Amino acid sequence: MRELVVAAVQMRSGVTPEANIEAMAGLVRDAAARGARYVQTPEMTGAVQKNRDGLRSILKTEADDPVLKEASSLAAELGIYLHVGSTAIDVGGDMTANRGVVFGPDGGALAHYDKIHMFDVDLDNGESWRESSVYQPGEVARTVDLDVARLGMGICYDVRFPHLFRDLALAGADILTAPAAFTRQTGEAHWHVLQRARAIENGAFVISAAQGGVHEDGRETYGHSLIVDPWGRVIAEADHDEPGVIVATLQLDEVAAARSKIPNLKNAREYRVETGTEATRGERVA
C-alpha cells in the first residue's frame, strides 16, 4: 500500500521576509519531527504585503530569493519534499510572479508554478483586490512527481476554477494543492466547500496550507488549513487562524478506489453550448 505522511504549515506572515523565514523554518522542522515526508507552506510565505512599493522593495529573483534558499536548505537537511506554497518573485519590469516551488529531499527545485488566476474582486465588506496590477499571471499548469505520488500545483484563487484541477487530475495527479491567503469573508463562506468539492470531483487528496489572522499590513486571512481525502472527508484541519502544523497519513490507494466508484473523469464527454430556444436555433416556427 502506498502511503505518504504530509503536513500543512499555517502561518501569519508579516511584511519582513527575515521574520517569516524564521517562522517557516520552525514550523517546517516541527512538521518533519512529526514524521512528515511532504510539507507545504501557505501562499505568500515570504511576505504578506499589500503595499505595492513595500512589496517591490523586498523582491528578489528566484535565484536570489532568501525564502527559497532557506527552503532548499531545509529540504536537504530534513530529507523531505518541501513545497513553498508561494512567495513573490521578481520577474523583471514592473511585474511580479506569485510563485510556488517544490524542493526535493536533496534540496533541488523539482518544479515551480506561477498562479494562473488573479484575484481581482470587490467584496461587499469594502475590500477591493487587484492582483493583476501587481502579478503576472502564469500560463502553465504543473504537476510534479514525488517518490510515491504525483502532485498537482495550484494557488489560492485557482481553487475556484474546477477545470484547472480536473486537468491536473487527468494528468495523473493523486494530490491537488491550493496553498492560500483567503480573506476571512470569503473563507468563512466558501473555503471548506471549495476544498472538498475539488477533492470529490477529482477523486484526489487536497492539501491546502493557509495564512491566518490579522497581518502586519492590516489584511485578515481565514486560516483553517485543510487536508481532504478523495471522498471529500476532512482528515486534518487547523480549526483556527493561529500559526501551527497539521499532519495526516495519506493512503494513496484511496485515489484509485474513489475514481473506480465514481468514474466521472472517464465518463466526461465533449459537448457544445447553444443559446436560445429550439425555435430560434433552427428555422423559425410559424
> 3, 18, 62, 115: which is the annotated catalytic residue?
115
Distance in angstroms (rounded) separating the CA atoms of residues 144 and 232: 23
Q: In degrees rounded to 5, what are phi and psi of residue 150?
A: -105, 135
CA end-to-end span of the chain: 66
- For this structure, is 43 an active site residue? yes
Active-site choice (22, 60, 127, 156):
156
- For the question of residue 115 being annotated catalytic, the response is yes
- Asked if residue 202 lies in contact with residue 169, where contact means CB atoms within 8 angstroms, the answer is yes
- Max intra-chain CA distance, the chain: 78
Interacting residues of 11 by C-beta distance below 8 A, sequence separation 6+: 20, 23, 24, 27, 41, 42, 45, 209, 211, 212, 243
On the 0-12 / 13-18 / 19+ scale of CB atoms within 10 A, 127 is middle
- What is the set of active-site residues? 43, 115, 156
